[in-house]
Amino acid sequence: MSTHASEHTGDGRGEGRGEGTLIVVAKAPVPGRVKTRLTPHFTPQQAAALARASLQDTLDAVLATPARRRVLYLDGAPKHWLPDGIEVVPQCSGGLDVRLAAAFALYEGPSLLIGMDTPQVTPELLAQGLDFDGTDARFGPALDGGFWALGLAEPDPALLLGVPMSVSDTGTVQRLRLTASGRAVRDLPALRDVDTPDDAVQVAASAPGTRFAALHAELCAAVR
């Protein structure tokens, strides 16, 4: 896999401000390919716009977090929504467990992997996820049974291979995989992923200052 499909470092925010690598796993916000569970409540175009807002909010938090490097591990092509200071790496093929494992193989040293579905995430939470003082792993459970963040002081891709993804016990199985390896694990706060219209309502309410919340309010007002 290429490690630098493209690189944006125009404002220098991605350089030399901390230890560890932040990796955001995302799909390009293309109508019909992202957030399909938000339809038919929203049109495919509106669902994609919400996905883009969620991704941009996530990348804002990433850019504000001290880190050695900041990476977007992307399925699709970056467009104008990509800010400066983010490296872009194309996702490999295979199941989600294979792709997440490959993300942890990209770089050496402490890494924190997050998704694009939690626009409410903050720099403080991400910094906590990159703090491995006294622990080997950080685990951020999602309220749907998955996980929104996984951090490893010493990345080992094998820890993700074979974990069943996108099912109700994904998070439980992944966390057990970590502890069974002998690693000490500290949990991050549980967050809600944006998957359904109800999720979108609750996440927007919990993060009123985000692009996601503003767009969600605009779209909901338009259909009243």
Each of the 224 residues of the chain gets a pLDDT tens digit; together they read: 223 333 333 333 434 456 899 999 999 999 999 999 999 999 999 999 999 999 999 999 999 999 999 999 999 999 999 999 999 999 999 999 999 999 999 999 999 999 999 999 999 999 999 999 999 999 999 999 999 999 999 999 999 999 999 999 999 999 999 999 999 999 999 999 999 999 999 999 999 999 999 999 999 998 76
Report DSSP letters for 25-62, one per residue.
EEE---TTTS-GGGTTTS-HHHHHHHHHHHHHHHHHHH
Q: What is the per-residue pLDDT for 89?
A: 98
DSSP characters over 158-206: GGTTTPPPSSTTHHHHHHHHHHHTT--EEEPPPB----SHHHHHHHHHH
User: Minimal CA–CA distance to 64: which of 125, 115, 144?
Assistant: 125
Instruction: Give the separation between CA 70 and CA 112, rounded to whole angstroms.
Output: 10
Residues 6+ apart with CB under 8 A from 90: 1, 2, 5, 74, 75
Looking at residue 223, what is its pLDDT? 74
pTM of the model: 0.90
Give the pLDDT score at 213: 98
The residue whose two tokens read 């995430």 is 121
